[in-house]
Amino acid sequence: DVGRDQAARAVRVSRALAAFHLDRLVDIGLLDAGFRRPAARATRGAGRPPKVYRRSTRQIDVTLPRREYALVEKSRATPPVDDVAVWVIPCITVRRGHRGQGVAVAMIRAAVEYAGKHGAPAVEAHPRADGKRVHDDFAFFGTQAMFRKAGFRRVRGILPGLPKGWTPRVTMRATCGSSPKTSSASPRRSKPAR
């Protein structure tokens, strides 16, 4: 169980802001809440026990909706490979302490399955081209090895002529198990531009 003060200290925000967000997470079912008096103040007349939060006991599946981005056709960082209306995983991050346990690969596989069930012919990703260890702030594209483990194959190498300072990335793709439909909303693909 976590109290509001403890949560606020952990993420370095005010107690009021932490309480607001914790209560929103309770409202949507991601957390359960209750009241519990700390053992040190278990005497009568000590006032109302503080509110505490814990993980919801429900199983929760999280998916993100497909987005349409008009600028994707002109993206220099990740231009379309072809006319397949792929869905894209633009980034992936696993919280420290849960890394190295296969969480990212499981999330990627689940995203491909979800996309396939909703008519996507394939899913693309644009992981870093090198396998070097980088700071967490720059690791959100994922790695080729991560996507390969999730069933992706490389469909394009590093683009030539990238501006200085841009991260060299490759394009990888996984075919969805569902029918090979193309999107009526976008003749090419959905992908946020850099």
Torsions phi, psi for 87 (to 5 deg): -95, 155
Name the strands in the sheet holding 51-55, side by side, starting at the edge strand that comes first in the sequence. Answer: 2-3, 51-55, 31-35
- Helices 4-11 and 15-27, interaxial angle, to 10°? 110
pTM over 0.85: no
Q: Which of 191, 99, 88, 90 lies closest to 136, judged by CA? A: 99
Q: Could you say which DSSP state residue 48 is in? A: S
For the chain, 194 residues long, give each residue's pLDDT as a single digit of tens. Answer: 899 999 989 888 888 888 888 988 888 777 889 988 766 655 666 677 889 999 888 766 655 555 555 555 667 778 888 888 889 888 888 877 777 888 889 999 999 999 999 999 999 999 988 877 777 667 788 889 999 999 999 999 998 888 888 888 999 999 997 434 433 333 344 444 44
Q: Which residues contact 125 (CB under 8 A, 6 or more apart)?
A: 88, 89, 90, 92, 108, 141, 142, 147, 152, 171, 172, 173
Tokens encoding 131: 């396998």
pLDDT at position 120, please? 92
pLDDT at position 190, please? 45
DSSP strand pairing (87-89 vs 122-125): parallel
pLDDT at position 12, please? 84
